[in-house]
Amino acid sequence: MFSYTFHWNQAFRALPQMLDGALVTLEIALLSMAIGLALAIALTLFRLSGNRALSGIATAWVEVARNTPALFQIYMAHFGLGNFGIHLSPFTALLAGIAFNNAGYLAENFRGALKAIPDTQTRAGRSLGMSSLQAFRYIVLPQMLRIAFLPATNQMVWAILMTSLGVTVSMNSDLAGVTQELNARSFRTFEFFALAAVIYYVIAKVVTLAARLLAARMFRY
Amino acid sequence: MIEIENVHKSFGPLEVLKGIDLTVKKGEVVTIIGGSGSGKSTLLTCINGLETIASGRVVIDGTDVHAKGTDLNKLRQKVGIVFQQWNAFPHLTVLENVMLAPRKVLGLSKEKAEEIAVKQLTHVGLAEKLGVYPNRMSGGQQQRMAIARALAMSPTYMLFDEVTSALDPMLVGEVLDTLRMLASEGMTMICVTHEMKFAREVSDRVAFFHQGIMAEIAPPEQLFDAPQHTETKKFLAATH
């Protein structure tokens, strides 16, 4: 019943190709985080603005990003927008989909962090003669970043793993795409995907570890 | 001089200050005692404009605190306040906590701000704790740090809002000692407190608040030993 013979050599020979793919994966994940962070800050400000339209947009964004499959978000960016004549390349569509998802989760993360800091902190700053902007900049923001940092790291790991959904929109240069093509040519499915999984695992672990070290340096209290 | 004239203040339907009049001269120490909800703490936050008032006036050295156009940030440099909850900034060391406002608000150089901070922290007995984060200190130490933080702005007036109420009984003494020291140095102070012995010792005048009204104000000997108002008598009988 178990007559499959492993051919690991074939997979290992393709390792350089797969590592090139891993770099593309990392690139998309990092870009999607940078864009997601910028959007999340904007969404957080929208929510705080008190303007109904702006906070409505922000709330809708967060709701959709967090409560629909990431796969659909990427599909929409590629095929959905295509219906309206907006044609994004697989790379751009994948990036847009993940950035959309990141922004939703990070905005919620920021909101929680902001809520966790008692008003009395701002009050203490104001009572020392600081403007509300100064109190936010020097007292609230640094504490917020600490609270938001580790959840943001989780989102980064999640972004790395989400890039694999790119295969559904014919993305073929990232790790999942490269692996899928190698698989299609050789049918060594187990070997290639196992090796790819190990690479994803290592990247995710390295990112988590690096973030922990960085956090320990940045937040010493 | 702090002049409080017929100040009214409400939170929703609840009127917490019902026409307070009080003048505090430079160098004077006035303590305010009274039950919970009597409006004593609210009055302090109205003095430095952290809370708005419904009517009346608070005038500090000629500046109307609640007038339109008053620069409250500037005014607050002159009027320090320390709260029941000390509100240490947890992400900064003790030294940085005290240096922050002199640097960012007064625009002092790092060296100058540090010099002032070290001086004030030494003054309140925290010279050994400069590089420590607040969460490594006791409540009493954090409260003394909060006092140093306010003093670093060289205020003319200091407001203390039940600064020992959230402390373990063991730690109350060290904070009161710090206040006694400030009083003896001639700092103008308004202290809301539940520490009757302390109020009797340091005050030039003691005010008794009851349900949003200043029922009685007198030198400590008189207020504690020969209270005039029925409510003062009741309150003192209950707390002694």
- Domains in chain B, start-ordered, CATH in brackets? 2-239 (3.40.50.300)
Nearest to B91 among A129, A130, A146 (CB): A146
Q: What is the mean pLDDT of residues A205-221?
A: 91
Q: What is the mean pLDDT of residues A126-131?
A: 95
Q: What is the mean pLDDT of residues A35-54?
A: 93
**Structural domain contains residue A35:** yes
Q: Considering chain A, what is the average pLDDT of its residues?
A: 94
**Structural domain contains residue A9:** no
Q: A31 to chain B nearest CA, in Å? A: 29
Provide DSSP, chain B: -EEEEEEEEEETTEEEEEEEEEEE-TT-EEEEEE-TTSSHHHHHHHHTTSS--SEEEEEETTEETTSTT--HHHHHHHEEEE-SS----TTS-HHHHHHHHHHHTS---HHHHHHHHHHHHHHTT-GGGTT--GGGS-HHHHHHHHHHHHHTT--SEEEEESTTTTS-HHHHHHHHHHHHHHHHTT-EEEEE-S-HHHHHHH-SEEEEEETTEEEEEE-HHHHHHS--SHHHHHHHHHH-
Please tell me which residue of chain B has the smallest CA distance to A139: B89
Total number of domains constituting chain A: 1
The predicted structure's pLDDT at residue B36: 87
The predicted structure's pLDDT at residue B73: 93
Which pLDDT band, with edges at 50, 70 and 90, does B239 fall under?
Answer: confident
Q: B101 to chain A nearest CA, in Å? A: 6
Nearest to A120 among B87, B101, B150 (CB): B87
User: What are the chain B neighbours of A126 within 8 Å (beta carbons)?
Assistant: 50, 73, 76
Say if the Cβ atoms of A221 and B135 lie within 8 Å.
Answer: yes
Look at residue A68 and tell me whether its pLDDT is greater than 80.
yes
User: What are the chain B neighbours of A131 within 8 Å (beta carbons)?
Assistant: 73
Q: What does the angle CA A46 – CA A51 – CA A56 come to, to the nearest 5 degrees?
A: 65
The predicted structure's pLDDT at residue A1: 61
Question: In this structure, what CATH number is given to the domain that contains residue A29?
Answer: 1.10.3720.10
Backbone angles phi, psi at A219, to 5 degrees: -115, 90
For B91-136, write each residue's pLDDT tens digit. Answer: 999 999 999 999 999 999 999 999 999 999 999 999 999 999 999 9
Please tell me which residue of chain B has the smallest CA distance to A121: B87
For B142-183, write each residue's pLDDT tens digit. Answer: 999 999 999 999 999 999 999 999 888 888 999 999 999 999
Look at residue B240 and tell me whether its pLDDT is greater than 80.
no
**If interface means Cβ-Cβ distance under 8 Å, which residues of chain B face chain A?**
48, 50, 73-74, 76-77, 80-81, 83, 85, 87, 89-92, 100-101, 104-105, 133-135, 146, 149-150, 153
Which pLDDT band, with edges at 50, 70 and 90, does A50 fall under?
Answer: confident
Percentage of chain A lying above the pLDDT 90 cut: 85
**Structural domain contains residue A167:** yes
Say if the Cβ atoms of B87 and A131 lie within 8 Å.
Answer: no
Look at residue A62 and tell me whether its pLDDT is greater than 80.
yes
**Structural domain contains residue A77:** yes
Q: Please state which of the ranges A5-14, A159-168, B140-149 shows the lowest mean pLDDT.
A: A5-14
Look at residue A2 and tell me whether its pLDDT is greater than 80.
no
**Structural domain contains residue A76:** yes
For A187-212, write each residue's pLDDT tens digit. Answer: 889 999 999 999 999 999 999 999 99
Which pLDDT band, with edges at 50, 70 and 90, does A52 fall under?
Answer: very high
Please tell me which residue of chain A has the smallest CA distance to B46: A127
**Structural domain contains residue A4:** no
* Parent domain of A146: 14-218
How do B29-34 and B205-210 pair as beta strands?
Answer: parallel
Say if the Cβ atoms of B83 and A143 lie within 8 Å.
Answer: no
Please tell me which residue of chain B has the smallest CA distance to A124: B87
**Structural domain contains residue A1:** no
Say if the Cβ atoms of A221 and B74 lie within 8 Å.
Answer: no
**Structural domain contains residue A3:** no
Look at residue A7 and tell me whether its pLDDT is greater than 90.
no
The predicted structure's pLDDT at residue A218: 87
For B24-83, write each residue's pLDDT tens digit. Answer: 999 999 999 999 889 999 999 999 999 999 999 999 999 999 999 999 999 999 999 999
User: What are the chain A neighbours of B161 within 8 Å (beta carbons)?
Assistant: none
Please tell me which residue of chain B has the smallest CA distance to A147: B91
Look at residue A153 and tell me whether its pLDDT is greater than 70.
yes
Q: A42 to chain B nearest CA, in Å? A: 25
Which pLDDT band, with edges at 50, 70 and 90, does A11 fall under?
Answer: confident
Look at residue A4 and tell me whether its pLDDT is greater than 90.
no
Say if the Cβ atoms of A130 and B150 lie within 8 Å.
Answer: no
The predicted structure's pLDDT at residue A24: 96
Percentage of chain A lying above the pLDDT 70 cut: 100
